[in-house]
Structure 1
Amino acid sequence: MNAPAPLSFCIYCGSRPGHRDAYADAARRTGTAIAARGSRLVYGGGNVGLMGIVADAALAAGAFVCGVIPRSLMEREVGHRGLSELHVVETMHQRKQMMAERADAFIALPGGIGTFEELFEVWTWRQLGYHDQPIGLLNIEGYYDGLLAFLDRSVAEGFLGENVRALLLADDDPERLVDRLARLVPSARAADDYTRI
């Protein structure tokens, strides 16, 4: 019997480190946790901010790390040259699609509007049935407290279904969030089957 393929976690996060050391620490812990369970990391391919930190931590702990970056951002985000695999694509749409196709689960760390957009897009795809991968939000230092309260307000006001709201798992512990999401990955999914979305 063949061993199951390793899971692949797609990470969305800031190309800046933020002002608190806790954000960088959380990124390191996330990368290390992914590697510790024998999983792979897929992310935006940058070598700066939380992007670089999570990738370096996963690599240091022995994980396979795949980066996907548009050519126009290769210099601005300082494309990471030490990855297991780096794809340079032409558009942001290609970047997001390739990352999603290689993912078994998604985690958003602290970040800016790019992180928000990626999170909401992949969550919308889940709502519409384009994929069945679990989605997590790493809420370090209460960074996403305001967003989570707003989402609950959206449910209360009738614009967001409770079932859809429940698809986004929030946690303040990186290791616990990785484990929670891993348990929710459909058992038939294989991390080397890059034809999901």
Structure 2
Amino acid sequence: MLAVALSAVFMASFDLFVVNVATVALREELRAGDAALELIVSGYAFAYAAGLITGGRLGDRFGYRRLFVTGMIAFTVTSLLCGLAQNAQQLVAARMAQGLAAAVMVPQVLSLVAARFPASHRGRAAAWHGATAGIGAIAGQLAGGLLLEADAAGLGWRAVFLVNVPVGLAAAIAARRTLPRLSG
């Protein structure tokens, strides 16, 4: 259960950093100016931070698993939209929507930990949460560089977003099968 839940933490952190290595390609291909690049990078973080409390409250009200799966599906769809963006404005909008999706799925992780783990084991689960966020941040930068360098299938910068699609689908399916139906 914990590994599936932590996939959301990994993906949200990964996407916070993966775009950093793609800014040069975004500037060239989308003709994105400095302001657009700033919004592409920070719009995700802003929307993510702005939505966290609401995302957590929605989980308390409608169920942690339901909101986790909903958020994961939305994150996957918005990742696809990022990869399909045809201009900087579309990418900014998709990145902000992606940040809101992350704000729906990530708060459910610690809520599930609090509900499923005895108090004596919550510290260890919370440590895994923090470690996963850090690993996601590092992996985002490393994988972003590798994806851009490899340019698999000629996707260029789009690959840094499209890599989330199969991972997100697998995580959503696994979550439906393994996460308990709980609410606050």
TM-score by length of 1: 0.28
Higher relative CO (Cα under 8 Å, sequence separation at least 6) belongs to 2
TM-score by length of 2: 0.29
Considering fraction of residues, name the structure with more helix.
2
Considering fraction of residues, name the structure with more strand.
1
